[in-house]
Chain A
């Protein structure tokens, strides 16, 4: 089955700096890669996703890159703000497998004002 590794487990940055979170996956058939943000005590919420036919996607301060050959994908947050502080999870799934998500272990991002 799929295995998703996520690094780092914790990340502390100064407000205004950039943050990068990296994930690797094992199943070359995976073709959908979402990123979820989970604040303390709240539900995971999708912030951005990318499909395997695209190498990069951007939405305002958030971008995701995908390298299918190396089987890794990354989340980039620019101009970080204190409200970006949360746990971020990457995930992978296969379209033809009911889209069940395999999650990484999470990254706790702390943005210091």
Chain B
């Protein structure tokens, strides 16, 4: 499968625990995005990488959230000290460089904080 893949697909964690998600973009895509989607809402932008550089972060991304893309390939999103309000679907997308190009989404990681 040459699409965007995310792991794990589902994660249940207790409040206060740390969680880490992984995203593998389409191999030739140098742009990678993280979005968060809550039930019944559209995806909300969290952060964006071009190669290994994190170029943009949303104000939604509190200091408990950190994302990395160390070699410009896969990316990780870590949430520290999880809260119930962090429960959501975390979507990763990738696109080639250039304006107005399609962003391809992964299946997402559904996080449930209990």
Contact = CB atoms under 8 A, between A and B. Distances in A.
Interface of A: 4, 6, 31-32, 34, 36, 42-46, 49, 51, 89, 91, 93-106
Nearest to B46: A100
B40 A100 contact: no
A100 B43 contact: no
Interface of B: 4, 31, 33, 35, 40-45, 48, 50, 55-56, 91, 95, 99-108
A44 to B, nearest CB: 5
A98 B31 contact: yes
B56 A99 contact: no
Contact of A45 (B45, B55, B99, B105): B105
Contacts of A6: 42
Contacts of B103: 34, 46, 99, 101
A99 B106 contact: no
B71 to A, nearest CB: 20
A61 to B, nearest CB: 20
Given A43-B106, A99-B95, A51 B100 contact: yes
B50 A103 contact: no
B23 to A, nearest CB: 12
Contacts of B48: 98, 100
Contacts of B4: 43
Given A98-B50, A100-B33, A44 B43 contact: yes
Contact of B43 (A51, A89, A95, A98): A89
Contacts of B95: 99
Nearest to B95: A99
A99 B50 contact: no
A56 to B, nearest CB: 16
A43 B108 contact: yes
Contacts of A99: 31, 95, 99-101, 103
